[in-house]
Amino acid sequence: MTGPARSRRNAQYGLLTSIANEVGVSLATVSKVVHRRRDVSEATRARIEALLTEHGYVRAGESDAHRPRQILAVFRDLAGPYTLEVVRGIVESAAEVGVHTTVGTTGRRSIAQWLERCLKLDALGVVIVISTLAEQDQRRILDQRLPVVLVDPLNAPDADIPSIGVTNWHGATTAVQHLIDLGHRRIGMLAGRSSSLAGSARLHGYRAALAEARIPYDPAFVRSTDFDYGEALRAARQVLDRSERPTALFAASDVQALGAMEAARQLGIDVPCELSVMSFDDTLVAAMASPPLSAVRQPFRELGQEATRVLLHLADGKPPATARKELATELIVRMSTAPPKTGPEKSV
């Protein structure tokens, strides 16, 4: 270490020691505030931050142009269109406020390892997308007050860990109501896994719309799959390759809807003349499908914006206004849905 660098470090250390004495806390507590740790009371944090500002203290990462402020965005994988849309929302939103995003998956690093990496990199926090949060990870987040925001978690998190999602139940009822309004009564569904909060909510919305229209629920018309093209194709064939098949299918994701359309093509079923296909997501692939998919649109950019906004507030020691926020969905009607071929059907 050069002489000037050593002098600056000693001066900074002396300032932190002075602040600790003035506030009446340990040097370790001041260090936690400097490194934006959250396990410090709001009152103490505010006093220390005020003194840091008053004395012109510059955090190490903020003084180096080559080390911009950063957040981590962790996904289960980076394979599907949903993931790419959410990545773009987070990265672009963070960049707008001068924050760099490091993107990774849980395929090679566990969530526990990503939390550890967040601390080592002195990152502002972590956005975790579509993942299961283990009990020990939740405890660590809460005990160490790590800034973490969940987007569409697969399991229900602790009430003190903020999460962002969309109105899955309402979006699903809107989608199925659109099919009912077209005259369909035999409406099937390619649902997500029941263990998925979003998938479960969409299935419940589907059933609620049927019940509201007094259409009996037929379990033979429903298959649960992962949000996966291959699984959806096989499941759709099972539902469609029968004499009494549905005239419409509601898929819980664009990828599943594409699988349903390929199953229909393989079976010689025309979309939308013989089968209407309705989706949930409205990623970029929906409009490029043949025919273009009718879908419930998720506000992907807004999901990224909101997750980034909440995370940066947490990093500044500000609690979120609510533990769970749901953004509104929108019905987008395209060419994959139409009235049933023989006209409006009668309810069973």
The enclosing domain of 187 has a CATH number of 3.40.50.2300
Point out the domain boundary residue: 40, 63, 86.
63
Residue 333 domain-assigned? no
Residue 230 domain-assigned? yes
Mean pLDDT of 287-298: 97
Reported as a pLDDT band with limits 50, 70 and 90, residue 344 is: low
Cis bond before residue 4 (omega within 30° of 0): no
What is the reported pLDDT for 275? 98
Mean pLDDT of 91-99: 90
Mean pLDDT of 313-327: 89
**Could you read off the pLDDT of 236-266 as tens digits, one per residue?**
999 999 989 999 999 999 999 999 999 999 9
Total residues found in the chain within this entry: 348
**Could you read off the pLDDT of 277-291 as tens digits, one per residue?**
999 999 999 999 999
Both 267 and 204 in one domain: the answer is: yes
Both 261 and 210 in one domain: the answer is: yes
Instruction: Give the sheet arrangement for strand 294-297, strand by strand.
Output: 222-224, 187-191, 248-251, 276-281, 294-297, 330-332
Both 128 and 274 in one domain: the answer is: no
**Which of 83, 162, 153, 156 lies closest to 111 in space, CA to CA?**
153
Q: Tell me: pLDDT of 84 over 90.
A: no
The proportion of the chain whose per-residue pLDDT surpasses 70, expressed as a percent, equals 91
Taken in order 4, 10, 16, 19, the sign of the CA dihedral is negative
Residue 341 domain-assigned? no
Mean pLDDT of 191-217: 95
Of 57-61, 98-102, 176-180, the poorest mean pLDDT is in 57-61
What is the reported pLDDT for 59? 67
| Total domain count, the chain | 3
Give residues with Cβ within 8 angstroms of 268, minimum separation 6. none
Both 172 and 294 in one domain: the answer is: yes
Q: Tell me: pLDDT of 347 over 60.
A: no
What is the reported pLDDT for 65? 47
Q: Domain limits at 46?
A: 3-63
Question: Do 250 and 189 touch, CB atoms closer than 8 A?
Answer: yes
Residue 262 domain-assigned? yes
Q: Tell me: pLDDT of 6 over 60.
A: no
Q: Tell me: pLDDT of 198 over 50.
A: yes
Point out the domain boundary residue: 33, 63, 93.
63
Say how many C-beta atoms besides its own lie within 10 A of residue 291's C-beta: 15
Q: Tell me: pLDDT of 272 over 80.
A: yes
Both 117 and 14 in one domain: the answer is: no
**Which of 122, 165, 166, 161 lies closest to 319 in space, CA to CA?**
161
Residue 174 domain-assigned? yes
Structure tokens at 340: 């049933």
Mean pLDDT of 164-184: 98
Average pLDDT, the chain: 89
Q: Tell me: pLDDT of 11 over 80.
A: no
Both 263 and 278 in one domain: the answer is: yes
Both 217 and 229 in one domain: the answer is: yes
